[in-house]
A and B are shown apart, each in its own frame.
Chain A
Amino acid sequence: MEQQQKNKEFIINYLTAISGIPKTRAILEKYIADEDLIAHIESFEAGFPRYEVYMDEMTSEGKRVVVQARLKGTHQGDFGGLPPTYKTVDFPFAIRYEIEDNKIVSHWMLADRMGLMEQLGVLPAAEAVH
């Protein structure tokens, strides 16, 4: 129970620390030992510099913390080959972290990429369902 609480605090501190600032490798390595996650963050940081992460919900179990979150940022850099549109996006994603010795050692993530592309104007917005 205590470890789960500590893991939750660790993730709050980590996401708060990287939100709204340039996500340098030095800062990321303070919290992350998962190269895939670092690469993923770096690719988003390139497209959405200083992006912020808001934690809408959080659950902790064993070594894992699952966060339902939102990424908010402005598309100012190349993002997967897409030149900057300077549009501000706010889209949801869910991420599961696995924590060992105060480091994120692995993760799993699912993001609303379709929603992101709609907000960037790359895809036409889906019609509202009535």
Chain B
Amino acid sequence: MTNPSETDNMPFLKALLPGVQAIAREKSIRLDFSASEKEIMRYFFDGELQTGFSKLISSIIDYMPENNTVFISAGVIAKEGAEYISVKIRNTGINLKMVTAIIKYSSLPVTLFSSESSETTFEVCYSLKNSVNIHTVANGGAFNYTAVVKGIQTHFAKLNNPVARLSETRPKEAAFLTNINKCILDNLDDDRFDANALSNAMAMSRAQLLRRLKSLTGNSPGFYIKTMRLEKAKELLETSDLSVSEAAFKTGFGSPSNFSKVFTEKYGITPSQFRRINPNATNK
């Protein structure tokens, strides 16, 4: 019987993939996740593990040639009478057994599991019962992963929010941007609302709008509108019961397939996958 304070670690392990997708995509590296168990119950998932895995996989990708694959497989193994979570990370394309930098700079209990002519397997093995980081246990308790993710998201949202940034130093420009944002949000479900429509609505020429918006955000009006559509769609997938198609239409993407393509390009994960791994989505 499962201890009620235990949580399934599998979603956290699966979430490693989108976390390193951007760096993998840059080198055309394919990521493949597999698991021998449906769920891995553990008391908690240390925050250090999440960061450690991302860094470790990124570091492996860094040394790999392009167009190869990283296979990540998770399972539970028994060793010396105790149970451990074993995460194996196998890369193709190059033998990294002599690149000690990968193990040396990792915060995880990682070892070289095996190597062949042009591939390497690393293994991270940690106890199913005890924390990897004893300090975390001493401080007592479950690591609130979701809260930390939210905190980080809020922090970066503020940094990326030009209105908040400008309101203190350039209030006129902040007001201008607020109007632009409102105008786009009012027309978000209209897939024909483009840069021309925005310049008309703002009573500006297309060139004026481009110059002013680019100087404030670094983006063209077309790109800015697309980004707002995507952010709103992502928010809807996170917080509402809307299906992926409904979210697409509601944010002005003419077709769900186009939405899926654009979303995947930006976030490195399909909208359906995003919905599945999102703990806050209400329509699981």
Give residues in A with beta carbon < 8 Å to B: 5-6, 8-9, 12-13, 15-16, 19, 52-58, 70
Contacts and interface: CB of A to CB of B under 8 A. Distances in A.
B151 to A, nearest CB: 32
Interface of B: 27, 63, 65-66, 94-101, 104
Contacts of B97: 16
B63 A12 contact: yes
Contacts of A5: 27, 65-66
A70 B100 CA distance: 9
Nearest to B65: A9
B207 to A, nearest CB: 35
B98 A16 contact: yes
A124 B95 CA distance: 38
Contacts of B63: 8-9, 12, 58
Nearest to B115: A16
A58 B94 CA distance: 15
Contacts of A15: 98
A53 B98 contact: yes
A19 B98 contact: yes
Contacts of A12: 63, 94-96, 98-99
Nearest to A15: B98
Given A12-B95, A12-B98, A55-B99, 6 more contacts: A13-B94, A13-B95, A55-B100, A56-B101, A56-B104, A57-B101
Given A8-B63, A9-B65, A12-B63, A58 B101 contact: yes
A13 B119 CA distance: 11
9 contacts: A5-B65, A9-B65, A12-B99, A16-B96, A16-B98, A52-B98, A55-B98, A55-B99, A57-B101
